[in-house]
Amino acid sequence: MSTPSVILTNKRVSANRSARSATAHPFFSLFRGTYVGKAGLESLKTYKYVGIDHSIIAKHIMQPFWTSLVPYLPMWMAPNMVTLIGFAFIITSYFITTSYTPLLVGAVPQWLYFFNFLCMFIYQTMDALDGKQARRTGSSSPLGELFDHGCDAVTTVLSALTFMGAVQVGAGPFALFSVVSMMLAFYMTQWEEYHTGVLELGYVGVTEGQLSIMFIYLFSTVTGYQFWANTLPLPSWLPIFGGYAMPYGYVPVLISIVAGYFTIISNLLVVIKVAPSLEPKLTPGAAITKAYTRLVPIVFLSVMFIAWSIVSPTRVLQLHPQLFLSTLGFLASILVGRIVLARVCKEHFPPFQPLLIPLAAVFLIWISPHSFVGTIPFPQHTPANSEEVFLYLYTVVAVLGYLHLALSVIAEICATLKIRCLHIVPKQV
């Protein structure tokens, strides 16, 4: 029979273990205290996620399917681990496809199309299950939403590059315009939620887009990459593009771009409607203008990358499309992470973002034929090498910037809420 002192000692040991397990992992602690103020951390404790999905397919077909899979997840598996597993499949799909299509065109083996289908299917499934697992295990937290959106932002650009390489889009302005459009649409969805507090998805959205990609991968498993090399003659009466032949691979990408811009227009109209009520001390015009200033970072990023592709002396987009477009994607993902973090923590989102400063060097160095590009101190390097080195360095900066943001936020939130990122902490009794 246990004595009261023994029982008390056991409870203390259990409490100490729970307290230790609830603190951030020492690795994450290295990054703590960078992005969120004290008031923002306190706001995390009262944050509640609100989302509405109008998709008929998601609501009546996919949701029942996803719900049926939840019991197969072990109770000890953290929701963020579910997210991370799906994200890992997208990364694997991207790197394998890129090895065959470094210039977004190449001989893609038919088995790879089926593999990409499986990766997209697993990602979509895991992305749908993470929230359900959080509610099932009672481990829902703001970190889960930030972790999910952070992975989704990078997934957007990596899956776009994977898909464009698979359908033989090729390196050029169309590929750049596609990535810009997709990242802009993703950012502006979060921008709308920043002002409304509700993530509202339309009747045709992410679920339909992912299912379409999976269908095209299955279709290509049968036809092979050669199918996408065919062209579609455009009617002569079309302005600008009349008489041209459009590659088949452009068609699904073009449809996604058009759908994205419908979403963007909807985002703009919603914010125009709600902005005045959020800033009652300002005139309606001033309130809307203030809300629209939060679009400055993503617009600046998009315009500068488009301009860089135009003034590039070495045609850097055509020679290094994977590096160029993935750098754009990681920078956009950082902006997405920052605005989501500001919303969750109820903090101000500043239009100025330091990581975008190096883009000004593009104009300082390459926009003028009388630029000082030849004076950049890279030993035994020509101006062509200088631009390539700049791109490589900026890619590293973008990836490290994204990782620093992610790890820092994980450390700060875990320490504040006394949770673990990839482990479910037992509730203290």
- Catalytic residues, by residue number, are 149
For tokens 């875990």, name the residue. Answer: 414
Helix axes 383-417, 142-166, angle to 10 degrees: 150
Residues found in the chain: 429
State the burial class of residue 212 (Cβ atoms within 10 Å of its Cβ: 0-12, 13-18, 19+). Answer: middle
The angle formed by the CA atoms of residues 86, 92 and 97, to the nearest 5 degrees, is: 130
**How far is it, in rounded angstroms, from Cα 112 to Cα 224?**
10
Helix, strand, or coil (residue 315):
coil
**How far is it, in rounded angstroms, from Cα 362 to Cα 252?**
32
**How far is it, in rounded angstroms, from Cα 288 to Cα 274?**
9
The identity of residue 386, as a single letter, is: S
Cβ atoms 83, 141 nearer than 8 A: no
Cβ atoms 160, 178 nearer than 8 A: yes
Q: Partners of 69 in the beta sheet?
A: none
Torsion of CA 265, 266, 268, 273, to 10 degrees: 140
Nearest to 165 by CA among 148, 178, 181: 178
**How far is it, in rounded angstroms, from Cα 396 to Cα 390?**
10
Phi, psi of 47 (to 5 degrees): -70, 140
What is the token pair recorded at 328?
A: 């754009």
What is the token pair recorded at 372?
A: 């000082």
Q: In the chain, count of helices (H) and strands (E)? A: 17, 4
CA distances from 149 to 248, 266, 392 (A): 31, 20, 26
